[in-house]
Structure 1
Amino acid sequence: MTVVDLSAVPSVLIAEADPWSRDLLKQVVLSVRCDAQLDVCGEGQQALVLLGQKSYDLVIADRDLPGVSGLDVLRAVRQRRHSPVLPFILLSSRNDSASVREVLPLAPTAYLTKPLDMNGLTQRLHGLLLSAGQEVLCDVPELAPGMTLKRFLTQRRVSSDGAPLWVDARSAVKSSLSPDGLDLALLEQEVRTDPHITAVLIAAANSAAQHLTRPAQSLAHALQRLGPAQSMNLVQGLTLKYSAYLSDPRLADYAAHQWGVSLRAAEYGRTLANMLNLDQERCYCAGLLHRLGDLAVLRCLQEWQEAGGELDTSTIDESLAEFGAAYGSALRTRWRLPLELRELIAAVYHLGGGVYSREALVMNLVGQAAILESEEGIEALAQSKTARLLKIGTSELSRLIKA
């Protein structure tokens, strides 16, 4: 490992309107230089303010920023005549000759078209942020003095990265590649059991940058909206994040249980929705995502442990009980998952007052079925208010659970 002078740590500005693309760029930069000092913003005017406040070693900006465009930001940077010339990577969805010619006089370090070639971007960043033969390793930050687990989890609730990955995302992408590129149908089959990947792709497909009004509420719909290149970038980008996979055996066992309940609820939801002629894929997604908060807590517990915190079984149980629901609610709100999908996820746990949709009743019923420890509970479940409203009896529930 090369010893790096702190004064040489690169400072990078990322200006990108779409929050998911912005996060992806951040992770790619950190995968090359984990010690990089990052500033991120979503508007060109913000970028100009930041550029006026401090010096940067690299700027990455989208050409189509709202307000002041990325092209205007590049123009302002070149007018200041930095010495040496400030490296500037301009991203754009425009690849026509006129758009390229307009940029050339401003001498961007690179003009990269969207969807991005992640390998090409990574190679560019290696050349810009690392010296030949240089390697930078970063230690996990230690806990602040006096930090308690409750305070740690409370702070992380508003900024957690979500659930750990369940499937091997890189292998999933590789298995979905064909001579003609990424096969979205194959990718869906590879990752459809992973709650985190499903939630992120649905959220990204519904981001403001998509400029579409009809929300994607299933993985298949999200993949079609994002397209092969962006879908592949987002899935691969998730593997770059810290603690993407659980390495602690105890936490992994807890996650396997949560995932098992999620998958049962998803499969039951799809089967029952099919029986009742309802939206199968939306019910499947609601079931799959309903334990997202519990899984996110487990990921944060691993971060706590790797930062030097102590952890035992009772602490894990108490943390899930206290923070699981809050983490799930915070993630669904922060990621702006479609309201209809969030309502179905909430219905897994309880039904509010008023009139219930049939899909909400389905999700409430499968939520109860997914945690049955034996077939002995089927008869009692058939007598529940939810089952009676749906007119689902013991025989239908037996077929559902044995399917």
Structure 2
Amino acid sequence: MPPSASAPLIIIADNDPEIADLLARIVAEVRPDARAIAMDDGRKVLTACKRQTPDLLIADVAIATLDGLSLLRELRGHGPTQRLPCILLDGKASAANVRAAQPLHPAAYLSKPLDRDDLRKRLGKLLATDTPVPPRQQQERLDDFLEQLREAPGKAPILEEIRSATAQCLQAGEYDLHDLEKIYKQNPHITAYLIHAANSAVYYTATPCTTLPQALARLGIKRTLNLILSATLEEHARLADHRLADKARGFTQQAIQVAQTSAWLAKQLKLDAELCYTAGLLHNLGELVLLHYLQKWQDQGGELDEAQRNDIIERRGASFGSALRAHWRLPINLRQLIGAYYSFWNGVVVPEALVLNLAGQLLRLPEGQEPGTLFDVREARMLRLDRKLLAEVPRQSASSAH
């Protein structure tokens, strides 16, 4: 079945949410306009395929309730899905499974761990289109391109310093959780990624993880380094355009400054300083994700000038960040604190939300204006801050340690 003229529909059937997330990202790299749906129940996948035939099915042979081979066998016996292209994935790749799959004519039978380059090539052939993606050189089409990606499980770029520190850590062979915290506590992407992983079904407990130290303790050293190594090797980790890379560095430093200011205020007020630090660090994750997609636009031939970059980031940064935090299922209280940085609402609020909002106001102070001038703003009054404490808020470099 050739891909549909409109955005193709891909169903991903895998029990492991991290693998499903990775597959969705690779699909988005090959076809940014594709709509990928992840499912972890074979019988539900069968029902979904019969209800609406997708353009491609990617299924693990070990999918729950109805294994991948049985699922494909059922689909081959149903008229509309007889020719549905299917990529089967197998963590064991046993000879028996391979033989059983041959009469079902899968488009590919791939073993895990996946060879990502090979998978991209296969997807490129299966999802080929004569229509250039994305459309070139028109602002409204750039907006369309970004809108298609907004709900995708995007990632933020990782700075060269983080990749180097990870490599050094692995080469040293001796490290503990405290060492890892010192390395990664100033990287928004790694922090959000590890909190997301620590709250996944594999590690979930009754208490949600909301900070990097909590995530590190739950994941352990080996799992943490495996996750980070995977993230630093992925294509989204690098920005080839030095202008986008410079912006990424600037946004990361801004995130660190907000995190440090929020934590300092929280500590003075005997609030949850680690939670405030995390929320401050993740406040502009959307802007960092956008930089990755703007790099993708340019890689595919799109043109972008400085004014367009700034306009897109200003208009879309917050919505991209909100979509990503929801997709990663970050705890709701952490998401609410991040939202408080941008705007404040009436009603019952926690003091930490006031801290985040005030930290944002401090960051936006014009050059030369002292923090004490915010003494009369609502958030400072509700926190009962005095002028002396506000005057002591450190106007430190964003690169200094928390």
Say yes or no: TM over 0.5. Answer: yes
Q: In the aligned structure 1, how far is the partner of 2:28 from the partner of 2:313?
A: 30
Q: Which string of whole-angstrom CA distances, capped at 9 and with x for unpartnered residues, describes residues 356-402 of structure 1?
A: 21111111111111233434242321221111221223332232224
Residue type at the aligned position of 1:365: L
Is there any run of 5+ residues in structure 2 with no aligned partner, and where?
1-9, 77-86, 100-110, 121-127, 397-402
Q: In the aligned structure 2, how far is the partner of 1:30 from the partner of 1:341?
A: 27
Corresponding residue number in structure 2 for 1:184: 177
Change (3 A) 1:378 1:307: same
TM-score normalised per structure 1: 0.71
Change (3 A) 1:155 1:393: same
Q: Hey, which bits of structure 1, 4+ residues long, moved more than 6 A?
A: 25-31, 37-40, 47-54, 74-78, 178-181
Corresponding residue number in structure 2 for 1:95: none
1:227-238 superposed matches below 5 A: 227-238=220-231
Asked if 1 retains the 8 angstrom alpha-carbon contact of 2:181 and 2:212, the reply is: yes
Residue type at the aligned position of 2:273: Q
Asked if 1 retains the 8 angstrom alpha-carbon contact of 2:134 and 2:142, the reply is: no
Change (3 A) 1:382 1:51: closer
1:256-335 superposed matches below 5 A: 256-335=249-328
Q: Secondary structure at the match of 2:90?
A: strand
Q: Which string of whole-angstrom CA distances, capped at 9 and with x for unpartnered residues, describes residues 151-181 of structure 1?
A: 1222221115132113544433333348877
Pair 1:215 & 2:208 matched: yes
Asked if 2 retains the 8 angstrom alpha-carbon contact of 1:205 and 1:216, the reply is: yes
Q: In the aligned structure 1, how far is the partner of 2:91 from the partner of 2:366?
A: 55
Q: In the aligned structure 2, how far is the partner of 1:125 from the partner of 1:154?
A: 29
- Which residue of 28, 41, 45 maps to 1:43? 41
Corresponding residue number in structure 1 for 2:91: 90
Change (3 A) 1:13 1:179: farther
Change (3 A) 1:186 1:371: same
Pair 1:171 & 2:150 matched: no
Q: Secondary structure at the match of 1:303?
A: helix
Q: In the aligned structure 2, how far is the partner of 1:161 from the partner of 1:143?
A: 17
Q: In the aligned structure 2, how far is the partner of 1:302 from the partner of 1:283?
A: 31
Q: In the aligned structure 2, how far is the partner of 1:341 from the partner of 1:251?
A: 28
Q: Secondary structure at the match of 1:314?
A: helix
CA shift for structure 1 position 286: 0.3
Pair 1:254 & 2:231 matched: no
Residue type at the aligned position of 1:233: N
Farther-moved stretch of structure 1 (252-261 vs 288-297) = 252-261
CA shift for structure 1 position 327: 0.8
Residue type at the aligned position of 1:309: G
- Which residue of 148, 152, 159 maps to 2:152? 159
Q: In the aligned structure 2, how far is the partner of 1:355 from the partner of 1:27?
A: 38
Change (3 A) 1:384 1:49: closer
Corresponding residue number in structure 1 for 2:14: 16
Q: In the aligned structure 1, how far is the partner of 2:204 from the partner of 2:303?
A: 46
Residue type at the aligned position of 1:183: D
Change (3 A) 1:180 1:108: farther
- Which residue of 373, 382, 388 maps to 2:375? 382
Q: Secondary structure at the match of 1:391?
A: coil
Q: In the aligned structure 2, how far is the partner of 1:125 from the partner of 1:363?
A: 42
- RMSD of the alignment, in Å? 4.1
Q: In the aligned structure 1, how far is the partner of 2:358 from the partner of 2:13?
A: 45
Change (3 A) 1:357 1:88: closer
CA shift for structure 1 position 253: 2.5
- Which residue of 202, 209, 219 maps to 1:226? 219
Q: Secondary structure at the match of 2:208?
A: coil
Q: In the aligned structure 1, how far is the partner of 2:152 from the partner of 2:314?
A: 19
Residue type at the aligned position of 2:20: R
Q: In the aligned structure 2, how far is the partner of 1:249 from the partner of 1:196?
A: 19
Q: In the aligned structure 2, how far is the partner of 1:284 from the partner of 1:295?
A: 18
Pair 1:342 & 2:340 matched: no
Q: Secondary structure at the match of 1:208?
A: coil
Corresponding residue number in structure 2 for 1:206: 199
Q: Secondary structure at the match of 2:91?
A: strand
Residue type at the aligned position of 2:40: G
Change (3 A) 1:323 1:228: same
Pair 1:242 & 2:235 matched: yes
Report the identity percentage: 35
Q: In the aligned structure 2, how far is the partner of 1:393 from the partner of 1:276?
A: 11
Q: Secondary structure at the match of 1:17?
A: coil
Asked if 1 retains the 8 angstrom alpha-carbon contact of 2:20 and 2:38, the reply is: yes
Change (3 A) 1:87 1:324: closer
Q: Which string of whole-angstrom CA distances, capped at 9 and with x for unpartnered residues, describes residues 264-299 of structure 1?
A: 110011111111111111100100000111222222
Pair 1:67 & 2:95 matched: no
Corresponding residue number in structure 1 for 2:134: 143
CA shift for structure 1 position 255: 2.2
Q: In the aligned structure 2, how far is the partner of 1:291 from the partner of 1:377?
A: 24
Q: In the aligned structure 1, how far is the partner of 2:98 from the partner of 2:284?
A: 45
Change (3 A) 1:286 1:393: same
Q: In the aligned structure 1, how far is the partner of 2:229 from the partner of 2:41?
A: 26
Q: Secondary structure at the match of 1:302?
A: helix
